[in-house]
Structure 1
């Protein structure tokens, strides 16, 4: 039995995923294209209070208020990755809040970003999307304090998420150190499952697994940021595990080596990818950065597709001292992240990724 046999749209309405040309973080502009766009943007003066800007493609901006407080600001929004409106809202909101956690911050409130085809979707369906987002915010302990709405061709939902942290505990994506261990908090493969869902090939167990990982808040972030052995953090989203590992490598000035056999996968992802359920974003990702990735000859095109698979609401990727790895894994376990695993090390040619 496929998911669409028991999850149906409201009477007279299309499936949400049929209204979007790409779902979730698979909608992101390919990293190579984005790099070209930003390269042409005019540089602005950077005030000393701006602790994190666009320099290393980090997860959020950070502005120092005083010696003990800084504001974390980020935004994320996308088109539907699932057909259930409440689930779409939960996933999108969880994904947006993750960027605050990835900097080591604690979320404090959010603003909703809503674009909906109001002549296609009912007010009830749109309301369920917003309710799903509000449920994720309640789970994070924050209110939605406002937002903005527009009438758009494709459904779009997300958040501006604000947080706060002590600048001493700020964790950027560019501060990994040679010899660090890399620990990944969530399994990868969400893009593959979303591609299968759109084609009606994902069963109920697969959907439940997809929902479990995409709606799990990355709550270990602030606790991890306070551990002295943790040097860098980011979250794995639309550019895939390989892309976000490369951002960490390039920003830190080191190489990264991934142990592919140690990387956790969402249940069913490999089989679905082998059946052809791979997103177009995976190929665009690889075209953008594949030249900087050295793959073990034993790895296949299937492995490559999973490495570049776009993750929606993906896990934290943490670079820590080897003697802190056990403490980092224990922190993930306390927060319910049973799949967290050590997946590599910071070593090799600067700005390059090797996978074996």
Structure 2
């Protein structure tokens, strides 16, 4: 069996450019000067999950793109995970994905096209599950395999979930457990397969998004490569609040703590913790706990400023404009 994870330096969303470095690159790009009609509802300003543009008829277009290197060895599962992850950005904004385009990078001299076909088959299956049209895409030769999608969705501009709409006093709910990064890293190093992790990563955030909208939520983000702490920091900073996290209430995948103890921590997770450290009140939290809270997730759940049926409440937003995250 070809082990796809061995053909990439990183894996899944852990291969993202570190948040701190990315913000340096984007310095000066926060304001869009070419929007005289006020049609751009969500742009670069707060680093939200997707761009949103208002069109005629009281509708908004939600647009995003996401792709990454193999997070698992099975090509079909990788395709499903990458597709679910790309679609998640639309769900995180409160939208409904309607059309997607494949993004495929392939080392054609190293890996057979049969594997690429399986990747695309997995992506197509998840797009169909989401009721999202899949209409072509783009492919290039690359030294590493990469796959994902560019996704366009629709939303009601008055019912968007944004990362800058958090209010002090709102509970924080998390719709998927953490630990995907460390388990995926263990899989890459040892070949062990974690079926629960694959199931979590291939689960769409569609139901969680609908439940949040039905509950009147207007602030959310998805938890992916920057970890829970990274995405919560961005949300708190954009909303002008701080946050308290009850570490004991945060759900974890089976085997996640053991993976940290055994040293299977992705570099991306450590960089996430380093990035948020200046804004972190660690309390009595151990390094192991902090690494799990900063763990780089792939196709993780929604972090919602509000209560979502079936999702644990892991903390709350509090008054204070310095975006401090307090661990309790």
TM bin (shorter chain): over 0.9
Q: Would the alpha carbon gap of residues 240 and 174 (structure 1) be closer, same or farther in structure 2, given more than 3 Å must change? A: same
| Equivalent in the alignment of 2:263 | 276
| Partner secondary structure for residue 230 of structure 1 | coil
Name which of 289, 297, 311 aligns with 1:311.
297
Q: Would the alpha carbon gap of residues 208 and 54 (structure 1) be closer, same or farther in structure 2, given more than 3 Å must change? A: same
The answer on whether the counterparts of 2:180 and 2:296 sit within 8 Å (CA) in structure 1 is yes
What is the CA RMSD across the aligned residues, in angstroms? 1.4
Alignment of 1:101 onto 2:105? no
The answer on whether the counterparts of 2:212 and 2:304 sit within 8 Å (CA) in structure 1 is no
The answer on whether the counterparts of 1:177 and 1:231 sit within 8 Å (CA) in structure 2 is no
Q: Would the alpha carbon gap of residues 28 and 68 (structure 1) be closer, same or farther in structure 2, given more than 3 Å must change? A: same
The answer on whether the counterparts of 1:106 and 1:165 sit within 8 Å (CA) in structure 2 is yes
Tell me how far 1:256 sits from its aligned partner. Answer: 0.6
- CA distance in 1 between counterparts of 2:239 and 2:115 reads 44
Q: Would the alpha carbon gap of residues 50 and 43 (structure 1) be closer, same or farther in structure 2, given more than 3 Å must change? A: closer
- CA distance in 1 between counterparts of 2:327 and 2:281 reads 6
Tell me how far 1:307 sits from its aligned partner. Answer: 1.1
Tell me how far 1:211 sits from its aligned partner. Answer: 0.4
Tell me how far 1:348 sits from its aligned partner. Answer: 4.8
Q: TM-score, structure 1 length as denominator? A: 0.88
Q: Would the alpha carbon gap of residues 159 and 150 (structure 1) be closer, same or farther in structure 2, given more than 3 Å must change? A: same
| Equivalent in the alignment of 1:90 | 80
Alignment of 1:239 onto 2:229? no
The answer on whether the counterparts of 1:234 and 1:317 sit within 8 Å (CA) in structure 2 is yes
Q: TM-score, structure 2 length as denominator? A: 0.96
- CA distance in 2 between counterparts of 1:178 and 1:233 reads 14
Deviations 1:99-145 (A, max 9, x none): 00000001101000010001111111110011111111111111211
Structure 2 unaligned regions, length at least 5: none
The answer on whether the counterparts of 1:103 and 1:221 sit within 8 Å (CA) in structure 2 is no
| Partner secondary structure for residue 25 of structure 2 | helix
| Partner secondary structure for residue 183 of structure 1 | strand
The answer on whether the counterparts of 1:169 and 1:225 sit within 8 Å (CA) in structure 2 is no
| Equivalent in the alignment of 2:5 | 17
Deviations 1:166-186 (A, max 9, x none): 111111011011100000000
Name which of 227, 230, 234 aligns with 2:217.
230
- CA distance in 1 between counterparts of 2:179 and 2:154 reads 31
- CA distance in 2 between counterparts of 1:40 and 1:16 reads 38
Name which of 280, 290, 312 aligns with 1:341.
312
Tell me how far 1:220 sits from its aligned partner. Answer: 2.4
- CA distance in 2 between counterparts of 1:215 and 1:75 reads 17
Tell me how far 1:20 sits from its aligned partner. Answer: 0.4
| Equivalent in the alignment of 2:200 | 213
The answer on whether the counterparts of 1:106 and 1:222 sit within 8 Å (CA) in structure 2 is no
| Partner secondary structure for residue 39 of structure 1 | coil
- CA distance in 1 between counterparts of 2:299 and 2:209 reads 17
| Partner secondary structure for residue 225 of structure 2 | coil
- CA distance in 2 between counterparts of 1:161 and 1:302 reads 35
The 5 Å alignment of 1:254-265 reads 254-265=241-252
The answer on whether the counterparts of 1:104 and 1:224 sit within 8 Å (CA) in structure 2 is no
- CA distance in 1 between counterparts of 2:24 and 2:50 reads 20
- CA distance in 2 between counterparts of 1:199 and 1:295 reads 30
| Partner secondary structure for residue 92 of structure 1 | helix
| Equivalent in the alignment of 1:53 | 43
The answer on whether the counterparts of 1:257 and 1:348 sit within 8 Å (CA) in structure 2 is no
Name which of 113, 116, 125 aligns with 2:103.
113
| Partner secondary structure for residue 276 of structure 1 | coil
| Partner secondary structure for residue 26 of structure 2 | helix
- CA distance in 2 between counterparts of 1:222 and 1:283 reads 29
Alignment of 1:78 onto 2:64? no
